[in-house]
Structure formats: C-alpha cells, structure tokens
Amino acid sequence: MSRRRRTAGAVVTALRLTVAALALVGPLAAVTVQTSEHGLFPKQGAGLVLFVSLQRQSMS
C-alpha cells in the first residue's frame, strides 16, 4: 500500500471520528449552554443534604 493511500485513509478515519464525536457531544453541549446560571438541577435544601451525604459515603 502506498504512503499516500495510508495517509488518505488516516485522514478519512479522523474525520469520521470527529463527526461521530460532534454528533454525540453536540446535543449535550447545547443543553449546557441553554441552562440557567444554577445548572440543570440546582441543589437546595434536602437535595443538597442528600448529595453531600452520598458524596461522603462514596469517599469512605
């Protein structure tokens, strides 16, 4: 196989991987950009207490 053909194949593969990554990550990035300043699920009250307690359990 010639060097030019291998390089072209590598470029095509890289472009395919880039398009696939953008297709998977793009919608998540769009949701993140549209979220409010507090994020998707702001932690307040009992939600914050539950979050902190679960984090402490996972660390021990």
**What's the confidence (pLDDT) of residue 26?**
84
pLDDT in tens, 1-59: 688 888 999 999 999 999 999 888 888 877 776 665 566 566 667 777 888 888 888 88
Is 29 exposed, middle or buried (CB count within 10 Å of its CB: 0-12, 13-18, 19+)? exposed
HSE-CB for 19 with a 13 A CA cutoff: 6
Is 7 exposed, middle or buried (CB count within 10 Å of its CB: 0-12, 13-18, 19+)? exposed
Domain ranges of the chain: 3-59
Q: List Cα–Cα distances, 12 to 23, 25, 49, in angstroms.
A: 17, 20, 49
